[in-house]
Amino acid sequence: MRIQGFKYAEIGYKLLISRKDVDNTVQRARKKIRKAIAQIDEY
């Protein structure tokens, strides 16, 4: 049982990390979009 629990914890941890990475890329994309919109507004 302990080994199985550890495996689940490991999978959950990996999912948590990948979710953080996704959040970071989404935030970066939003910043890029905002910059692009700001540049368009300047013209």
Question: How far is the C-alpha of 25 from the C-alpha of 30, rounded, in Å?
Answer: 9
Q: What is the pTM of this model?
A: 0.50
How many residues appear in the chain?
A: 43
How confident is the model at residue 43, as a pLDDT?
Answer: 64
pLDDT digits (tens, 9 = 90+) for 3-37: 777 888 888 888 888 888 888 888 999 999 999 88
Pick the residue with more confidence: 36 or 42?
A: 36
Question: How far is the C-alpha of 35 from the C-alpha of 17, rounded, in Å?
Answer: 27
